[in-house]
Amino acid sequence: MRDLDQLFAALAQSTFRTSFELRAKDLAYLRQKGLSTLLDHAEDFIGKRLAPASIDNDGKQTPMHGHPVFVAQHATACCCRGCLQKWHQIPQGCALSLAEQAYIVVVLERWLQSRV
């Protein structure tokens, strides 16, 4: 897992990662539901879509839009196990620990807070 300041500095250099922004609808949803609720959603998404050791559709399990957390996952490279390994040094092939899942939520929280 990476230092967050170093991670966000690296993400800022990626044209692909910086192309993700919250649409008006996503921002309205974030403001209506609140960050705490969105982080609860993030925990659920991570537990179901990223935490298992083996994911049949890895690389395609996170939609590109439709929920602010999905956008944040792509913007922060927390969208699939391949990106987690490349950007966060979290290895593929084994279930995510609770600490790794919590780290991902913190990464998403930092990105979402910077958009409000």
pLDDT of 18 above 80: yes
Q: How far apart are CA 24 and CA 8, in angstroms?
A: 23
Burial per residue of 44-76, b for 16 or more beta-carbon CB atoms within 10 angstroms, e otherwise: ebbeebbbeeebeebeebbeeeebbbbbbbbbb
Query: How wide is the angle at C-alpha 52 spanned by C-alphas 4 and 90, nearest 5°?
Result: 30
For residue 36, which amino acid is it? S
pLDDT of 82 above 80: yes
pLDDT at 33: 96
Average of per-residue pLDDT values in the chain: 94
What's the rounded mean pLDDT across residues 44-67? 89
What's the rounded mean pLDDT across residues 78-95? 95
State which H helix or E strand residue 34 sits in: none
State which H helix or E strand residue 102 sits in: helix 98-113
Q: Give the model confidence (pLDDT) of 90-113 as tens digits.
A: 999 999 999 999 999 999 999 999
Q: How far apart are CA 78 and CA 49, in angstroms?
A: 11
pLDDT at 1: 82
Contact between residue 47 and residue 83 where contact means Cβ atoms under 8 Å apart: no
Global confidence as pTM: 0.94
pLDDT at 56: 82
Q: What percent of the chain has pLDDT over 70?
A: 100
Q: Give the model confidence (pLDDT) of 27-43 as tens digits.
A: 999 999 999 999 999 99
